[in-house]
Structure 1
Amino acid sequence: MKRHHRWEAVLLACLLVAAGICVSHGKVQQASAASEVISVPVAMYHSVTDEGKSPGQYVISPSMLESDLKYLAERGYQTVTVTDLVAYVKEGTALPEKPVMLTFDDGYYNNYCNAYPLLKQYGMRAVLSPVGTLTEQFSESDDTGHEVWSYCTGIQLKEMSDSGVMEMQNHSFDFHSLSPRRGCLRKSGEDEASYRETFISDTQRAQEMFAALDIPEPVCYTYPYGACNDETDALVKECGFVATLSCEEGVAHITRDPACLTGIRRCNRDGRVTSEQFWSSLLAQAEKGD
């Protein structure tokens, strides 16, 4: 290569770098913030009680939840919410060095009387996705306040939301069942137009419930039973949501690409394992970027 050709190659490489292009082994790759990946471990909780039930697949005791919070705090993890992830993706808002997300599904009353005080005590936040019809049912009932089978009232959801400790997201109004449909999926024999109308109507009813309670509008749809497909993803976007929570086990990988907010992976917090067993495994996955 002649000398002036060599300088031209160097100059070209500099210009490419300045323009956000990386030259490597003769290949040209676009360097963008979307290529940066932040691994966020996300835990999925359900019932938090030791009254009448032994710890199980979807039940954890308050003392075990406190052990979880201590475990995370001692290792420097800071809780984030869906809104934080959306802000990072869409606006570039920074996330903590060691982010972790705690999610609570269904809206059990024991989330209010057991989980909520512990989160406040440890200065942590979480995402709560209540089932609309259960919130409505217990808001209108005098038979409330039982740790095992009661669900949060609208007033309780409002209190937790206002505190900044619990961020509310949409878990459907009345799709939390396995029959005649599995979660929010289309039923066998249901035509596309009818299904679309049913899905949008149910979703809007849940959104209207939050609006009536003066709770910030949810931006995330938490799939009941994690049941989802391309059709539900399209309907969720049509309804205006920018994120979805799945039940697929694993670590969430967050980038600047909005697509990373679809199907955020979570690991179910099984009450039959210790904090050390659950979190050491999940945090190790996050550190490896698995």
Structure 2
Amino acid sequence: MLNYHSIGVAPGNTYVLHPDTFVRQMDYLAAHHYTPMTLAEFASVITNKMPSPAHPVLLTFDDGYANNAEVALPILQQHGFPATLYVSTGLVNTPGYLTWPQIKQLSAAGWDIASHTVTHPHLPMLSKKAQREEILAARTQIEQELGKSANTFAYPYGEFNRTTLSILRKAKFRYAFTTLEGWASSDQPPLKLHRIVVDSQKPFEDWVQQVTEATTS
């Protein structure tokens, strides 16, 4: 499971990956026969309802940057790769972020869209009521806009507490993704799945090593 954010040009920003580097990474996945999956395929594999494809990988994008549609989508389409967007709905239609028409474009292109809260807060610092509103309001809006289920979640900053987990369980979220380093697996609790956060400041070779170690461990 690879976790991306912005695909653009911002030297020194860990979470902004240069488009050329993103192209190189996607070319590597294609050349080495990795199989990017939809959330439905991921769920079927992790629950052993379907055999795992060769080198399965879930490509996730957090926050909802406009360049996910403008830059990342065309690159992924060249390889026929699906992806998953975890969008903070309060950022939609603000400068630098996706619009709802762009999100619908991603959905139509085969991307899964799900909740990353409304305002991207530090959830453990909020009351139970405030956490619930952040998590559920984003999910509700996504489902209303797209007419599709959005029953997975990604924690802003990778942060959660027992209250967060309780809210997700009661609302019947199927999976939630952390920033705990590593590949998601069936050995992990479904609301504490791991991801490899792609660091734009690390050399390409380090990224290859991370991906290789994760898929062979």
- Would you say same fold, with TM above 0.5? yes
Contact 1:161 1:215 in 2 (8 A): no
Distance 1:277 1:90, change over 3 A: closer
Contiguous gaps of at least 5 residues in structure 1: 1-41, 139-143, 145-149, 178-182, 188-194
Q: Structure with the greater relative contact order (CA < 8 A, sep ≥ 6): 1 or 2?
A: 1
2:175 counterpart (243, 246, 254): 243
Partner-residue secondary structure (3-state), 1:244: strand
Partner-residue secondary structure (3-state), 1:124: coil
Contact 2:46 2:185 in 1 (8 A): no
Deviations 1:176-223 (A, max 9, x none): 13xxxxx22144xxxxxxx33322222221122112312422121100
1:117 counterpart (67, 74, 78): 74
Q: How many equivalent pairs are there? A: 217
Partner-residue secondary structure (3-state), 1:168: strand
Give the CA RMSD over aligned residues: 1.8
1:172 counterpart (107, 117, 136): 117
Q: Percent identity?
A: 24
State the TM-score, normalizing by the size of structure 2: 0.92
What's the offset of the Cα at 1:78? 0.6
Deviations 1:206-260 (A, max 9, x none): 12211231242212110010001222111111112010010111222225xxx64
Residue 134 of structure 1: aligned partner:
91
Partner-residue secondary structure (3-state), 2:123: coil
Q: Please give the alpha-carbon distance, in whole angstroms, between the structure 2 residues aligned to 1:215 and 1:110.
A: 24
What's the offset of the Cα at 1:97? 2.2
Q: Which runs of 4+ in 1 moved over 4 A?
A: none
Q: Please give the alpha-carbon distance, in whole angstroms, between the structure 1 residues aligned to 2:117 and 2:29.
A: 30
Are 1:214 and 2:136 counterparts?
Answer: no
- Higher alpha-carbon Rg: 1
Q: Please give the alpha-carbon distance, in whole angstroms, between the structure 1 residues aligned to 2:129 and 2:179.
A: 25
Deviations 1:119-166 (A, max 9, x none): 11111111111111011x43xxxxx5xxxxx100111001111111x2
State the TM-score, normalizing by the size of structure 1: 0.70
Contact 1:64 1:274 in 2 (8 A): no
2:100 counterpart (119, 141, 154): 154
Residue 35 of structure 1: aligned partner:
none
Contact 2:114 2:139 in 1 (8 A): no
Contact 1:43 1:101 in 2 (8 A): yes
2:128 counterpart (179, 193, 196): 196
Q: Please give the alpha-carbon distance, in whole angstroms, between the structure 2 residues aligned to 1:245 and 1:83.
A: 15
Q: Greater CA deviation, 219-228 or 265-274?
A: 265-274
Residue 212 of structure 2: aligned partner:
283
The residue type equivalent to 1:45 in the other structure is Y
Q: Please give the alpha-carbon distance, in whole angstroms, between the structure 2 residues aligned to 1:207 and 1:43.
A: 22
